[in-house]
Amino acid sequence: VTFIPVLNKIQIPAFLLRPPLFELGGLSSFNYGGLGHMVAHEMMHAFNLTGSQKDSSVNGRYWWTPLAGRNYTDKVRCFREEYDQLVQGRGGQTRELTDSEIMGDFIGLWLAFQTFRDLGDKKRFADLPFNSRQLFFIASCVKLCVKRAAPTSRMLSSMRARCNVPLMNFPEFAEAFNCSRGTIMNPSRRCELW
């Protein structure tokens, strides 16, 4: 899924419309956690720091207030620090991961979850040991799994951070998996957006 800034549009290649990202008639939890999260992530690029430079007609006009710009920068800083801490603790670096991607990961997760929660998941598979909320969060990370002959530690730690940082700042994740307060996945202090 790609956001095309000059057109202010999202492109969804047809090959993504299959498992594990999407399955026609499949579980809403997996469809929204997979492809829904990716689409919402890309949508957020229209509203990030770069997107703030173009209005809905794709004209070069800064449409944020100065206060909105400062608030966004402050929020990004918190998430950046968590990514850096998690990745550098594993010998990697996150500088190649832009602030736009970091915020897209979190806000995309939030948007996809709100939509999934509002619609509800009517299908259930009795043989799965997870409830629909847990499956949503699992699906949000499955696409970040890396299968290569020899993935670099930097790549693996970056993918791990892209999964874990949004989740550790998401109270609904901690609730779904009963993560104890003060643990890595349910920290006492979270980055907040709203």
Measured CA to CA, the distance from residue 112 to residue 108 in angstroms comes to 6
* Percent above pLDDT 70 for the chain: 84
Statement: residue 78 has pLDDT above 90: yes
Q: What is the pLDDT of residues 95-114, one digit of tens each?
A: 556 788 889 999 999 999 99
pLDDT value of position 138: 96
The domain ranges of the chain are 2-176
* Percent above pLDDT 90 for the chain: 46
Second-level CATH architecture of 2-176: 3-Layer(aba) Sandwich (3.40)
Measured CA to CA, the distance from residue 105 to residue 107 in angstroms comes to 6
Question: Tokens in use for 192?
Answer: 């907040």
Phi then psi for residue 2, to 5 deg, are -135, 135
pTM listed for this prediction: 0.86
Q: What is the pLDDT of residues 147-191, one digit of tens each?
A: 655 555 556 568 888 999 999 999 999 999 999 999 999 999 999
CB 109 within 8 A of CB 140: yes
